[in-house]
Amino acid sequence: MKVSFGVRVLSMLSALTPGLAFAEWNLNFTPASTLLGAEIQAVHDLVMWIIVVISIVVFGAMFWSILKHRKSVGHKAANFHENTTIEIIWTVIPIVILVAMAFPATRLLLATRDSSASDITIKATGYQWRWGYEYLDEGVKFYSTLATPRSQIDGVTEKTSTYLLEVDNPVVVPVGKKIRILTTANDVIHSWAVPGLAVKQDAIPGFIRDIAFKAETVGTYRGQCSELCGKEHGFMPIVVEVVSEEDYQSWIQAKLTVAGAPSFDPNKSYSVTELVAAGEQVYNANCVACHQAGGVGMPPTFPAIKGGKIATGSIQGHLDIILNGSAKNPMMAAWGPILSDMDLAAVIAYQRNGINSTGDFLQPADIAAARSE
Ligand SMILES: [Cu+2]
């Protein structure tokens, strides 16, 4: 969104006159649906007012002195040194103010870190560029990928109000329950942040950090990765659906059923047309960010699939780089742990017969065999 400089200055000024502030110039925190969120807001407001009062007193004294005691009105400067009383006062008062601010802030910071006695634990793993979630006790596991269509990103179709803030698989949690989020990452540092739930926690490769929240109201809360993590940093949003306990239970059951029964038949021989059609979807959801529409790539960083040495070479080599990733370049991740046998067979068929025309393809059963080698 483009905001002109004038509007920014105006909105900054309007912050000083709350009565005049306009609702759509959202300058404050996103209202949070957690009690901790409300406390964070309260501490912020308290510190803000302390700053306002200090600024008025200090700048008031300064400008008053400049104005009344200037040389041109004949003021004679007093000449004195080392007033112990004053020096003690201007050391003690700031210390008292700092401690008064640090006390509630530290207490609150510790409270946001307290993930003990949580009801549900979810591990959130950052990938370039999607989130993976695992409900540790329930055994539910899925990836959550940006759902905004490419046409909106490319400016071909109208952008919706949830532009870049929508995903295929949201995180679903029950209302009024303490949720513990464990964060980690697979490649670079990401950050799991949802303002409406007052949580933000870095996701660091090789480390597990945690943060907890308890949502008080049912609703949809949207956030984004908040650590600059590469080219598609703005394209890995977080969506948390806070629902009733019953809705949560039926969602968990549905997820477990889906996980138990794959949406494809592992022993079926699919036709090349079926695989290419399915593969185009897989490609657009997972590969298009780097290899681009039509597989033209962005050489030299992201190689073209169209006419690519591997993508038109031996099909085993093609399968290998997708299944296990590139040994030379970690940007080309191992997709084996992320995609199903069907998805892998489909995306290979699409790259070889949709983008290229090699004529050969693999079945899901071939992928399963390659995995168990
Ligand atoms: Cu990220």
Contact yes or no for 234/253 (Cβ under 8 A): no
Ligand 1 centre and the CA of 183: distance in Å? 12
* Residues 64, 70, 75, 79, CA torsion sign: positive
- What angle is formed at CA 117 by the lines to CA 208 and CA 249, rounded to 5 degrees? 90
Ligand 1 centre and the CA of 190: distance in Å? 4
Helices (H) and strands (E) in the chain, counts: 10, 10
What pLDDT digit, counting tens, does each position of 233-274 carry? 999 999 999 999 999 999 998 888 776 556 677 888 899 999
Tell me, what's the pLDDT at 170?
95
Q: What value does the mean pLDDT take over residues 86-96?
A: 92
Tell me, what's the pLDDT at 151?
84
pLDDT band of residue 4 (cuts 50, 70, 90) is low
- Residue 269: count of CB within 10 angstroms of its CB: 9
Class of domain 31-71+80-113 as given by CATH = mainly alpha
Cis geometry, peptide bond prior to residue 262 (ω within 30 degrees of 0): no
Ligand 1 centre and the CA of 204: distance in Å? 10
What pLDDT digit, counting tens, does each position of 121-135 carry? 999 999 988 999 999
Tell me, what's the pLDDT at 328?
87
Lowest mean pLDDT among 71-85, 192-206, 312-326: 71-85
Residue 5 has pLDDT above 80, yes or no: no
Residue 21 has pLDDT above 50, yes or no: no
What pLDDT digit, counting tens, does each position of 56-65 carry? 999 999 999 9
Tell me, what's the pLDDT at 153?
86
Q: Where are the alpha helices (DSSP H) in the chain?
A: 5-16, 35-68, 84-113, 150-153, 245-260, 272-286, 288-291, 315-324, 341-349, 364-371
What span, in angstroms and rounded, lies between the C-alpha atoms of 169 and 132? 10
Ligand 1 ion: residues within 5 Å (CB):
190, 225, 229
Number of alpha carbons in the 13 Å side-chain half-sphere of residue 196: 15
Task: Answer whether 31-71+80-113 and 272-371 agree in fold.
Answer: no
What pLDDT digit, counting tens, does each position of 314-350 carry? 999 999 999 999 988 888 988 987 788 899 999 999 9
Residue 42 has pLDDT above 60, yes or no: yes
Residue 25 has pLDDT above 70, yes or no: no
Tell me, what's the pLDDT at 314?
94
Residue 178 has pLDDT above 70, yes or no: yes
Two tokens, residue 224 = 């984004």
What is the fold, at CATH topology level, of the domain defined by 272-371? Cytochrome Bc1 Complex; Chain D, domain 2 (1.10.760)
Ligand 1 centre and the CA of 205: distance in Å? 12
Domain spans, the chain: 1-26, 31-71+80-113, 120-260, 272-371
What is the fold, at CATH topology level, of the domain defined by 120-260? Immunoglobulin-like (2.60.40)
Ligand 1 centre and the CA of 164: distance in Å? 13
Average pLDDT of every residue of the chain: 87
Lowest mean pLDDT among 213-222, 282-291, 362-371: 282-291
What span, in angstroms and rounded, lies between the C-alpha atoms of 44 and 47? 5
Residue 202 has pLDDT above 80, yes or no: yes
Ligand 1 centre and the CA of 21: distance in Å? 33
Which of these, 240, 224, 153, 144, lies nearest to 190 by C-alpha position? 224
pLDDT band of residue 20 (cuts 50, 70, 90) is very low
Ligand 1 centre and the CA of 231: distance in Å? 9
